[in-house]
Chains A and B, each alone.
Chain A
Amino acid sequence: MARRGPRRLPDAPGLELLAGRVRAAIGDAAIVGAEHHRGQAMLEVAPAQVREVLAYLRDSDAEPFEQLMSVHGVDYLPSQPRLGVHYQLLARERRERLGVRTRVTVEDPVVPSVVELFPTANHQEREVYDMFGVEFDGHPDPRRILMPEDYEGFPQRRDFPIGGEPVLFTFNEHEYPRWYE
């Protein structure tokens, strides 16, 4: 897949220009960083302005990204702020992908919800809440989606134990009572 063919868009200068336009439209504090790694563009955005940035990227920019393909969460432990929410945007006409990322801390895990802009984010933001505990402000249905409703804890955080059962080998089988005892 790593073909050295036509440029994977947007390229690094294009990304810097895009970041400049977003800063000009919304504010300097909106963009925290821009990275271009292995041909993929990533914008980092301050959490409070996520909705404005995505609305700008969808509607107002000279090179709009009109479709949201994926919303997912990441736990960057040990790097702080820990919880990240990624938005993967797609521009159909220009065949470009852009990643937008925002990072929040565990103590204040609030990110504005983008469901009004992109209805596809409905289930996906619920999954991020379920797995990481990021609360989406303005989401119409903030419930757990994959785990049982009354589950406690946010499983995909890095400090949540993987769970499961200890595998019994001969050296440790006497430590665990077996089911028929």
Chain B
Amino acid sequence: MEVTRTKVGRAGSRAPDAPDGFRARQLSAKQMLRGDLDGQDLESYVEQRVMLSTLEKAQNWARKNACWPLGFGLACCAIEMITVIGSPRNDISRFGAEVVRASPRQADMIILSGRVSIKMAPIIRRIYDQMLEPKWVISMGACASSAGMFNNYAVVAGADKFLPVDVYIPGCPPRPEALIYGIMKLQDKIVKDPSLGWRERYGAEGTEEVA
């Protein structure tokens, strides 16, 4: 039986001695430092290492990958949210969001996890106002998106009665994977359509509480 061995390389399967392998790149980097690269070599060196984009796209990309949630849990969905933040299996830090801030002034996104009672609603609004732009709201679970199963005197039927919500995540409680999917949808939204102008309808412009 014949056994053939082929080397499976890393980093795009470039062999170290190939023209674009490790040795060649190291050599060209040394030459660059010495100032020895000219003409076509210099052009190709720069092209390989520079990414062109608009400032806005870069800004959105940075924002989406470092979206810091506010540590805000209301009820049962908070347990699943803490599972997403804290459990090693479903882990939010791969999305750059494990820095859960306690203060709304330092947070980018608020995940409304749990039922919004009428006593808590003005407080949530105040916390939302204390967050600085740009800020996003994820309404997690059925109770925060609509009234959930509690369509009664004590629950506000959905946080979007007093807050502009960007992403709604259904479930009671949503699985951690569902929350992660919702966060990824929010990231898509930040990258593709970050204009927050639709919030004018809610009168959410200029409501920051700075005092």
Contacts and interface: CB of A to CB of B under 8 A. Distances in A.
A and B touch in the complex (CB under 8 A): yes
A164 B119 contact: no
Interface string A138-168: 0000000001100000010000111111010
Given A164-B153, A179-B161, 11 more contacts: A147-B119, A155-B153, A162-B152, A162-B153, A163-B152, A164-B147, A164-B150, A164-B151, A165-B151, A165-B157, A179-B160
A180 B202 CA distance: 9
A29 B154 CA distance: 40
The 7 closest A-B pairs by CB, nearest first: A163-B153, A164-B151, A165-B157, A164-B152, A148-B119, A163-B152, A162-B152
15 contacts: A148-B119, A155-B154, A160-B153, A162-B152, A162-B153, A163-B152, A163-B153, A163-B154, A164-B151, A164-B153, A164-B157, A165-B151, A165-B157, A167-B151, A179-B160
B118 interface: yes
Interface of B: 118-119, 147, 150-155, 157, 160-161, 201
Nearest to B120: A148
How many A residues touch the partner, as a band?
Answer: 10 to 19
Interface of A: 147-148, 155, 160-165, 167, 179-180
Contacts of A167: 151
A18 to B, nearest CB: 39
Contacts, number: 28
Nearest to B156: A165
Nearest to B202: A179
A179 to B, nearest CB: 8
Nearest to B158: A165
Contacts of A147: 119, 154
Contacts of A162: 151-153
A165 B153 contact: no
A143 to B, nearest CB: 13
Contacts of B147: 164-165
A148 to B, nearest CB: 5
A3 B186 CA distance: 54
A148 B201 CA distance: 29
A160 B152 CA distance: 11
A180 B151 contact: no
Residue among B119, B147, B153, B161 with the most chain A CB within 10 A? B153
Nearest to B122: A148
B201 A164 contact: no
Nearest to B161: A179
A162 B155 CA distance: 11
A90 B152 CA distance: 34
A7 B147 CA distance: 45
Contacts of A180: 201
Given A164-B151, A165-B151, A167-B151, A148 B157 contact: no
B118 A148 contact: yes
A165 B210 CA distance: 34
Contacts of B153: 155, 160-164
Contacts of B155: 164
Contacts of B118: 148
